[in-house]
Structure 1
Amino acid sequence: MANITLAVTGSISAYKAADLTSQLTKLGHNVTVLMTRSATEFIAPLTFQALSKNIVHLDIMVEEDPTSIKHIDIAKTTDLFLVAPASANTLAKLANGLADDIVSAVALALPIGVPKLIAPAMNTNMYLNPATQNNLEKLARYDYQEIKPREALLACGDFGTGALAEIDAILEKVSKTLHEV
């Protein structure tokens, strides 16, 4: 099966990425989890380690193995890059080529042609903000495919578009994308 790099970013929906990790692993994929610092405020890295049976990568500046450069090696072995949930902050970083954390550094180091999926999750106003929409348009030009958020009652109490896509929808897009490669 595929080597999937799952980037979990700072959104209340981060807990849903645990189910996504579990489902991908049960399907036979090797899942490498990257987490932004803010994602760790919502869910513990140990959860993903237990579900993926792999080390969870948190910090671009921590190099456990002096014979390799972690973010480069992860990028080279990635068959599919998935950001779920994708926060507005991470979308902005990816759209503008920043590489100041493990998620954005691996993304920038991905070889040309590696499929990239993003599943945004945020407040409706943040999602609909012209800056976020501009970032999503830029990312589409960089061959990122968006898995659209759902309309729902959000954690903040607002109702609107911004809820993470259902896990089944994300799994379906992953499967379809991998079969296209």
Structure 2
Amino acid sequence: MARITLAVTGSISAYKAADLTSQLGKLGHSVTVLMTTAATQFITPLTLQALSKNLVHTDVMLEENPSSIKHIDIAKQTDIFLVAPASAQTIAKLSYGFADNIVTAVALALPSTTPKLIAPAMNTNMYLNPATQENLKRLQTYGFEEISPKESLLACGDVGVGALADIDVILEKVSDILHETN
């Protein structure tokens, strides 16, 4: 099946990455997980390592193998790049081409033909903020496809759009892309 690179960023929805990783594995996909530092405050790398059966990468500067460059190798071995959940911070960094963490460095190193999905998760006002919306539009021009957040009761107590899309919706989008590329 596919080699999916799952980028997990700093959102309360990061805990849902465990179910997403598990479901992708059950479908036969190989999952490589990348985590921002903020993501590791919500869920541990060990959880995602146990579910993915692969090393979880959290530091762009940690090079375990001196004969390769990790973020370049991961990018070359990615069939689908999926950012879920995608925080406003990471969306902004990706839209401006930052490469200051493992998620943004791998994203910048991806071949232009690699399908890229982004599933935002944040407070309604943050999601609807013109800066975030502009960043998402910019990412579309770079080939990212948004998996829109849903309207729900959010962790902050507000009700509105911003909750991570349901795992089934994300899995369906991954399946759609795999059928388009095969």
**TM-score bucket (shorter structure):** over 0.9
Tell me the CA shift for residue 98 of structure 1: 0.3
Work out the percentage of aligned pairs sharing the same amino acid. 76
Tell me the CA shift for residue 112 of structure 1: 1.2
> Distance between the aligned counterparts of 1:95 and 1:179, measured in 2?
27
Alignment length (residue pairs)? 181
> Distance between the aligned counterparts of 2:97 and 2:171, measured in 1?
27
Corresponding residue number in structure 2 for 1:159: 159
Moved over 3 A (4+): none
Asked if residue 31 in structure 1 is aligned to residue 31 in structure 2, the reply is yes
The alignment's TM-score, normalised by the length of structure 1, stands at: 1.00
- Secondary structure of the 2:57 match is coil
> Distance between the aligned counterparts of 1:175 and 1:64, measured in 2?
32
The alignment's TM-score, normalised by the length of structure 2, stands at: 0.99
Corresponding residue number in structure 2 for 1:124: 124
Tell me the CA shift for residue 178 of structure 1: 1.2
Q: Which amino acid aligns with 2:153?
A: L
> Distance between the aligned counterparts of 1:179 and 1:58, measured in 2?
30
> Distance between the aligned counterparts of 1:177 and 1:59, measured in 2?
28
> Distance between the aligned counterparts of 2:111 and 2:100, measured in 1?
18
Asked if residue 94 in structure 1 is aligned to residue 63 in structure 2, the reply is no
> Distance between the aligned counterparts of 1:177 and 1:156, measured in 2?
33
- Secondary structure of the 1:84 match is strand
C-alpha deviations, 1:108-163, integer Å up to 9, x for none? 00011100000000000000000000000000111100000000000000000000
> Distance between the aligned counterparts of 2:172 and 2:17, measured in 1?
15
- Secondary structure of the 1:4 match is strand
- Secondary structure of the 1:112 match is coil
Tell me the CA shift for residue 179 of structure 1: 1.1
Structure 1: stretches of 5+ with no match in the other structure: none
C-alpha deviations, 1:78-130, integer Å up to 9, x for none? 00000000000000000000000000000000011100000000000000000
Question: Where do residues 1-181 of structure 1 align in structure 2 (5 Å cutoff)?
Answer: 1-181=1-181
> Distance between the aligned counterparts of 2:112 and 2:162, measured in 1?
29
> Distance between the aligned counterparts of 2:75 and 2:25, measured in 1?
19
Q: Which amino acid aligns with 1:147?
A: I
> Distance between the aligned counterparts of 1:56 and 1:76, measured in 2?
17
> Distance between the aligned counterparts of 1:87 and 1:179, measured in 2?
28
Q: Which amino acid aligns with 1:114?
A: T
RMSD: 0.3
